[in-house]
């Protein structure tokens, strides 16, 4: 099975590589994790049959299945949910100490994610909550790594990066330059959660990045693994088991695995679960919907 993840400087790629190696060793599967263009691209690869497993933001998963936003009028329904793994924070990073609020991004050069990425819609949602449209900024469409490089070089003023914190791109940036995270205040966060229930209020803890010494309020979406419906029940059952039956061992390879739990994994409601995943969760006492 080909497992599409995300950019090489993102959390998807780092975790996907470990998960694939673990599944091959523990469950006798044959999974290859590869870098990719992220959530939307991953859904389309599953639709095209060029991949069988993929990472996807929970909001993008819902867009695809419902034929909305990125997939306006063109629903993709050939995939199912495998597991919701952890929360991905909306991280707005800048090296300009004068940018203290999302409102301060008006008139600035802002990277709002790679074209067609889930990050783009997160950025549009957040900016919109503050009355800012794409026309009110100079938008740049870049990957996480390119955004970090552009911030280092002073080519852009801020960047939206939606990934589990700490994220490699921001970690690297903050060790070479003073970086700041822009807060999404509680009032605006509550508005967005009410309008789009796939968002959750979140906090990035002080010390997550070098030089950022206070908690920062923001939003998050879920990081979900999806599978093509053509994958066998046995393979997906084995894949899910290889993760959740070995969490203690996996934590030693990446701290992000410490955020995984069976309960969170079974919490998606927008897209039904693959039968193999449903079988595993049922054995753990949790019923999930399937097609």
The per-residue pLDDT for range 159-203, each reduced to its tens digit, is 999 988 888 899 999 999 999 999 999 999 999 988 887 888 999
- Tell me the average pLDDT across 213-229: 96
Q: β-strand 138-140 against 109-111: which pairing, if any? A: parallel
Cα gap 142→120, rounded to integer Å: 10
Structure tokens at 113: 């994610």
287 — pLDDT class (breaks 50, 70, 90): very high
- Name residue, tokens 């979406």: 221
The tens digit of pLDDT for each residue in 75-132 reads 999 999 999 999 999 999 999 999 999 999 999 999 998 776 788 889 999 999 999 9
Please answer whether residues 122 and 111 qualify as being in contact, where contact means their C-beta atoms are separated by less than 8 angstroms: no
155 has a pLDDT exceeding 90: yes
Cα gap 42→98, rounded to integer Å: 37
- Name residue, tokens 């067609």: 116
Q: What confidence score (pLDDT) does residue 7 get?
A: 84
218 has a pLDDT exceeding 90: yes
Other C-beta atoms closer than 10 Å to the C-beta of 24 total: 14
Our CA angle for 163, 164, 168, nearest 5°, is 80
Judging by beta carbons within 10 Å of its beta carbon (0-12, 13-18, 19+), is residue 195 exposed, middle or buried?
exposed
Mean pLDDT of the chain: 95
Angle between helix 58-66 and helix 39-48 axes, rounded to 10 deg = 50
pTM comes to: 0.82
DSSP line for 141-201: ---HHHHHHHHHTTS-SEEEEEESSS-HHHHHHHHHS--EE-B--HHHHHHHHHH-TT-EE
Structure tokens at 21: 């190696």
Cα gap 35→20, rounded to integer Å: 13
Please answer whether residues 167 and 91 qualify as being in contact, where contact means their C-beta atoms are separated by less than 8 angstroms: yes
Structure tokens at 276: 């193999």
Each as own residue / partner, the long-range contacts of residues 59-66 (CB below 8 Å, 24 or more positions apart, any chain) are 59/118, 59/121, 59/122, 59/196, 59/198, 59/199, 59/221, 60/118, 60/121, 61/224, 61/226, 61/268, 61/270, 61/271, 62/198, 62/270, 62/271, 63/121, 64/40, 65/270, 65/271, 66/270
Q: Which domains does the chain carry?
A: 2-85+224-283 (3.40.190.10), 89-221 (3.40.190.10)
- Tell me the average pLDDT across 209-231: 96
66 has a pLDDT exceeding 70: yes
Cα gap 219→291, rounded to integer Å: 30
Q: What confidence score (pLDDT) does residue 116 get?
A: 66
Cα gap 59→198, rounded to integer Å: 6
Q: β-strand 2-4 against 180-181: which pairing, if any? A: unpaired
Q: What confidence score (pLDDT) does residue 86 get?
A: 95
């Amino acid at each position: 099975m080909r497992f599409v993840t995300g950019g090489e400087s993102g959390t998807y790629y780092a975790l996907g590589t470990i998960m694939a190696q673990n599944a091959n060793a523990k469950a006798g599967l044959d999974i290859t994790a590869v870098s990719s263009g992220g959530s939307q691209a991953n859904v389309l690869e599953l639709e095209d049959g060029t991949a069988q497993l993929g990472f996807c933001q929970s909001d993008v998963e819902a867009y695809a299945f419902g034929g909305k936003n990125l997939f306006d009028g063109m629903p993709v329904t050939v995939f199912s949910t495998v597991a919701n793994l952890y929360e991905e924070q909306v991280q707005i990073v800048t090296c300009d100490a004068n940018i203290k609020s999302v409102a301060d991004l008006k008139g600035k050069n802002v990277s709002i994610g790679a074209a067609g990425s889930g990050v783009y819609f997160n950025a549009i949602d957040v900016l919109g909550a503050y009355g800012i449209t794409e026309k009110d900024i100079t938008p740049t469409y870049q990957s996480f790594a390119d955004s970090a490089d552009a911030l280092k070089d002073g080519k852009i003023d801020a960047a939206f990066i939606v990934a589990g914190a700490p994220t490699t791109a921001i970690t690297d940036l903050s060790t070479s330059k003073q970086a700041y995270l822009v807060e999404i205040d509680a009032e605006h966060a509550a508005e967005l959660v009410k309008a789009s229930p796939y968002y959750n209020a979140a906090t990035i803890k002080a010390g997550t990045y070098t030089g950022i010494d206070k908690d920062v309020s923001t939003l998050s979406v879920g990081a979900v693994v999806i599978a093509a419906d053509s994958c066998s029940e046995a393979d997906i059952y084995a894949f899910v088991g290889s993760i959740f039956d070995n969490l203690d061992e996996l934590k030693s390879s990446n701290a992000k695995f410490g955020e995984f739990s069976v309960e969170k994994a079974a919490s998606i409601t927008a897209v039904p679960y693959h039968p193999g995943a449903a079988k595993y969760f049922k054995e753990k006492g949790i019923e999930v919907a399937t097609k």
